[in-house]
Chains A and B, each alone.
Chain A
Amino acid sequence: MVDIAKILFTVILINNIVLSQFLGVCSFLGLTTNLKNSMGMSLAVIFVMVVSSAITHPIYTFLLVPNSLEYLQTVVFILVIASAVQVLEAIIKKIMPPLYKAMGIYLPLITTNCAILGIMLLNIQESYTFFQAIINGFGAGISYMLAMFLFAGVRQKMAEAKIPEFFKGMPSVLVAAAIVSVSFNGFKGVIENIFS
């Protein structure tokens, strides 16, 4: 239990996937223009993250390691993610049309979202067990959602702000991201005191 709490706490707050580890920054900057987009993308990311974690971990442990093909992990993982996205899209479209409406258009974008591939590789690097890998995937999705939500709120406020000419667009957004990111730095060092 402590184990799970530690993984979740670390991935959500301390090593926030977007604001501390810089995974998925492209979509973070692109889709936080409003809350609806952030919601849809975050849902899709959580979904794909959990499913891909559950697929890639057994493939690595039972297929690549016994045949000493570990170096193929990047190729295999990206293909798994791409196919998982395709299959998921078809399934959701068939079974849950409202959910498809909410996150369907974001699914194709996820293949090139480096947060997914990054977490799959980190699961292996940290040598998590199957269960821990799924928890880490889920936590990473929540972590992504937290960053997206916080930042979508910040950007809605920024829309009314007066911004100098050359800071319009991305520069002001990035500076705001820097300030949001500072707040996550506050969690560093907390974990040793809680879980020791």
Chain B
Amino acid sequence: MAKKKKSLTYEFTKGIVKENPLLVLLLGTCPALAVTTSAWNGVGMGLATIFVLVLSNLVISALRNVIPDRVRIPSYITIIASLVTILHLLLQAYLPDLNKSLGIFIPLITVNCIILGRAEAFANRRTVLESIFDGLGMGVGFTLALFIIGAIREILGAGTFFGLALPFVGGDNMLQPILIFSLPPGGFAIFGLLIALSQKLSNRLYAQTPATTLDREHYPGSVLEGSAFGADGRLAYPADDRRSSGSSVGSSASKDLSDESED
């Protein structure tokens, strides 16, 4: 029992730092760049993604023995799209302001690589409880990263933090906001600098090769470095996610395996 609990904690925490979906796995870059013009937008987008990610992990994991293997990707997309529709209606009803500022990127959560990626790499072969914790962890990691990018861009680009004016910015003889950080180029630049920072930190923490060289082939839709293609030139959906993570993050793989042998 204690072992089980530890494993759940691990599923939760791995998404926050070690396998942070945005900064390490580089998934979900579109919303990360587009909506992070302010800290509140970043957090709002993150919370919306948590909602969809946890529920889609739950549903897909519960249905993992029902969905035929051949049509799983369309099934997952339909499940995710339905959840996004529910979320969209909820936001329209209760948080119209947030809905308006996130705009088109709420329906676009459907094609966020993180959600389909977790469904494919995790939820379709793990228990419901594990999948929920995995979704929560990944969602919190994504939200944190969005919050950091949003906060930096808001402070530098608009001189505010969560909409409140900072004391030393704006007036005469004071610092002026740097508009370009609110514009698209600032998004690319801040995101790039943040990944560089996280690579530096993760090198110190885990003593491994730069994190962005991780094998990402089990994420459909993420085509970084072209690794999504299998030998036959088709999109590859490897059957085992543990094998590929074993090649990159040795400690997590051995931990996973030891958990499994306990069961």
- A positions within 8 Å CB-CB of B: 19-27, 29-31, 33, 37, 71-75, 78-79, 82, 104-105, 108-109, 111-114, 117-118, 121-122, 125, 165-175, 177-179, 181-182, 184-185
Contact = CB atoms under 8 A, between A and B. Distances in A.
B113 A26 contact: yes
Interface of B: 26-27, 29-30, 33-34, 73-74, 77-78, 81-82, 84-85, 88-89, 104, 107-108, 110-113, 116, 180, 183-189, 191-193, 195-197, 199-200, 203, 210, 212-213, 220-226, 228-229, 233-235
Contacts of A182: 180, 185
B228 A185 contact: no
B107 A122 contact: no
B77 A78 contact: yes
5 contacts: A19-B184, A29-B26, A109-B235, A114-B111, A178-B187
List the 4 closest pairs (A to B, CB-CB), nearest first: A174-B192, A112-B221, A178-B188, A30-B223
B213 A169 contact: yes
Nearest to A41: B223
Contact of A121 (B104, B113, B191, B210): B104
A186 B213 CA distance: 34
Given A33-B226, A114-B30, A82 B85 contact: no
Contacts of B77: 78-79, 82, 111
Given A74-B81, A166-B200, A175-B193, A33 B225 contact: yes
